[in-house]
Amino acid sequence: MLSKLQRSLKSTRAAFIVLSLMLFFLSIQVSLTIYIDSSFLKSTISHSSLSKTFLWENPDNMVGVVYTLASLLTILALLYSPVALRRYGNYRWSLSILILHTIILLSLASSTSAWLILPFFITSSALLSVLYFNFDIFLERYSVDEETGRIRGLFMTIASVAWLLPPMFAGNLVEHHGFQSVYFIGAIILFPVIFLMIRYLSDFKDLAYEDSPLFLPKDTNKKHPGIISALWMNFFLQFFYAWIVIYSPIYFHENLAVSYGDFGLMLSIALIAFVLIPLPVGWLADKILGEKELFIVGFLVMGISVVLFPILAKGTFVFWHWALLLFVGRIGASCVETMSETYFFKQIDGSAAGYIGHFRRMRPIAYIIAPMTASSLLSAGIITLPELFPILGGVMLLAAGTALTLKDTK
C-alpha cells in the first residue's frame, strides 16, 4: 500500500491517506500543548522581571500581549506565504517550516529564560498557522466541489480524533514533570510528519499561486459572492477559540481550583464533539440543509454554553457538570468550524492561495482582537476574569445574527 502511495499521489484517495496521517500527528502535537500554553506563559512571566519591565503587574494581561504579538507575526508570515510558495514550492516551504517548528519546540523544552521562551512561543505560533495554510493547499489540490463538505468533514474528524487524549496527558505531565516535558514530547511526535512529507510529497505538483494582499480585491463580491461572509464566520469562530484557549485554563486552575490533570480530562471529554459532529453536519450541508441554519445553531449553542460559566461556578464544583458544559459548547464550535470550512472551500480551488491566506488570517486577527479586548477590560478593572465569558457569549449571539444574512451554496 505504502509503496503504491510513494509512486503516485495523483489520486484523491492516496493523497487523502497521506495528508490525514500527517494531520493526525500534527494535531496530536498541537492538542498536547495548546491548552497549557497560556498557563506556561503566565508561569514564565510570573517568575521573571517582564511584568515590571512592561509596567504590568498582572501576568494575565501580559499573556494577552504575547498572544497579540504572535498573531501580528502570523499575519506577516501568511502575507509572505504565496511568495514563498511560488519561489520554493509547497513541499520545500512546508518541510522547512515543519523542521523549524520542531527545533523551536525542543528549545521551549530546554529553555528557562523568559527572554528566550516568549520569542520561541511567538515564532512557533506563526509557523503553525502557516503550516495549516500549506496543508490547505495540499488538500485543496485533490478536492472537488461536490465532495467538499464530506472531504473537509472527514479530514476534520481525523484531526479531532487526534485531539481527544493529548489534553489529559498534558495535564498529568504538567502536574508531575512540569510544563517543559510537554513541549519535548510534542517535538518527538512531529518526527513521523517530517518522515511522511519527505517520502510521499516530494514530487507535489504546484499550481500558479495567487498573491495574498493585505486587503481583499475590489471585485471579490463579483467573483466570489460568499467569500466575505465566509471570512466573517471564520473570524467569529476564531474569536471564540482565542478567548477560550487563552483564558479558560487560567480560569479553571485559579478561580475554580481545578488541577491541570482534571482540566485536561474535561477537555478530552469535551473534544469528543469534534469527532462526532463534522461528518454528519458536512453531509447535511451537502445534501439537505445548507450552511446557514447550521451556522446559526452552532453559534447559539456556543454562546449559551459560555454564558453559563459564572452561573455554574456559584454552586459546588461537580466535575461532570463542567465536562458536560464544555462538551455542549464544543458541539456548537464543531458545527460552525465544519460549516466555515465547507462554505469557504466550495467557492475556490487550489490556486486561490490569496483567498486561502485571507481565510487563515482570520485566526491571527481574532487572536489580536480577543486578547487585546480582554486585557484592556481586565487591566482597566472594568470586569473580572469570570465576567469575560458572558461577554464572549454576547459576541457569539451577534455572530448568530450575522449568519442570518448568509446565502447557502448550491
Average pLDDT over residues 54-76: 78
pLDDT in tens, 40-64: 998 888 877 665 555 456 666 788 8
Average pLDDT over residues 324-335: 94
Rg (CA), the chain: 20
- DSSP type of residue 218: T
For residue 104, give the C-alpha cell: 523551536
Measured CA distances, 160 to 55, 166, 339, 361, 379 (Å): 40, 11, 15, 21, 35
Q: What is the pTM of this model?
A: 0.81
Domain ranges of the chain: 11-403
Asked if the model's pLDDT at residue 4 lies above 50, the reply is no
pLDDT for the residue 55? 43
Our separate counts of H helices and E strands in the chain read 20, 0
What fold is seen in the domain 11-403?
Answer: Growth Hormone; Chain: A; (1.20.1250)
* DSSP letters spanning 206-259: ---PPP--SS--TTHHHH-TTHHHHHHHHHHHHHHHHHHHHHHHHIIIIIS---
> Cα separation of 62 and 379, whole Å?
10
Q: What is the average pLDDT value for the chain, to the nearest integer?
A: 83
pLDDT for the residue 8? 45
pLDDT for the residue 51? 55
* DSSP letters spanning 105-156: HHHHHH---HHHHHHHHHHHHHHHHHHHHHHHHHHHTT--GGGHHHHHHHHH
